[in-house]
């Protein structure tokens, strides 16, 4: 698992159930709200500062995801995606990456095809069993509760790029 994490040059993230706890709140006007974890955000920023790209691939569409990605500096955001593998293939070509240089964090059945393609596959601890059985690594933390940060730290540590005391690795906002 550490050898696979060492090769990661881009981390792909699902949103609902990974970057959030999977809950969706609707206002009376029908506006959608999501809750993101600031520790996950800092982990993402540390990855980006270390030269590891981050992209979001999600089946739903939400303005909250666009806002969160913008705040964190994530440039590649793919929403409303039913075929995550097709987007993955586009990303490989666009960024001149091989599958073993890409990690993906998922939580549900729709993520299984992509988890099978990437070099480093991760399921959050509260992912469905079918995901947990098929991945290289299962987080100890739940989606939306620090799981993304755990993966970011693992990748950075495996590549000897983790320095929690460096001001360049602790940018705001989270």
Instruction: Identify the band that residue 46 occupies on the pLDDT scale cut at 50, 70 and 90.
Output: very high
Q: Exposure of 140 by Cβ count < 10 A (0-12 exposed, 13-18 middle, 19+ buried)?
A: exposed
Q: How far apart are CA 34 and CA 63, in angstroms?
A: 10
Residue 160 lies in a domain: yes
Residue 92's nearest CA partner among 123, 114, 70 is 114
CA distances from 42 to 72, 87, 116, 122 (A): 8, 25, 27, 19
Q: How far apart are CA 16 and CA 144, in angstroms?
A: 8
Q: Exposure of 25 by Cβ count < 10 A (0-12 exposed, 13-18 middle, 19+ buried)?
A: exposed
According to the model, what pLDDT value does residue 30 have?
A: 87
Give the residue numbers spanning the domain of 56.
Answer: 2-24+31-167
For the chain, how many structural domains are there in total?
1
According to the model, what pLDDT value does residue 16 have?
A: 96
Kindly report, residue by residue over 19-37, the tens digit of the pLDDT. Answer: 999 998 999 998 889 999 9
Q: What are phi and psi of 120, to 5 degrees?
A: -135, 105
Residue 172 lies in a domain: no
Residue 112 lies in a domain: yes
pLDDT exceeds cutoff 80 at 174: no
CATH for 40? 3.40.50.1000
What pTM, to 2 d.p., does this model score?
Answer: 0.92
């Amino acid at each position: 698992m550490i050898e696979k994490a060492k090769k990661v040059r881009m981390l792909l993230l699902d949103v609902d159930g990974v970057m959030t706890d999977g809950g969706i709140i609707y206002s009376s006007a029908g506006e959608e709200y999501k809750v993101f974890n600031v520790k996950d955000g800092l982990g993402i920023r540390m990855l980006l500062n270390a030269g590891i790209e981050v992209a979001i691939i999600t089946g739903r569409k939400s303005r909250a995801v666009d806002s969160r990605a913008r705040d964190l500096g994530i440039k590649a955001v793919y929403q409303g995606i039913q075929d995550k593998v097709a987007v993955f293939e586009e990303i490989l070509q666009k960024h001149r990456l091989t599958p073993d240089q890409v990690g993906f964090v998922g939580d549900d059945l729709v993520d299984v095809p992509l988890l099978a393609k990437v070099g480093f596959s991760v399921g959050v601890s509260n992912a469905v069993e079918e995901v947990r059985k098929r991945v290289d690594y299962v987080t100890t933390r739940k989606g939306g509760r620090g799981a993304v940060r755990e993966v970011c730290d693992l990748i950075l540590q495996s590549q000897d790029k983790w320095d929690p005391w460096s001001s360049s690795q602790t940018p705001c906002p989270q």
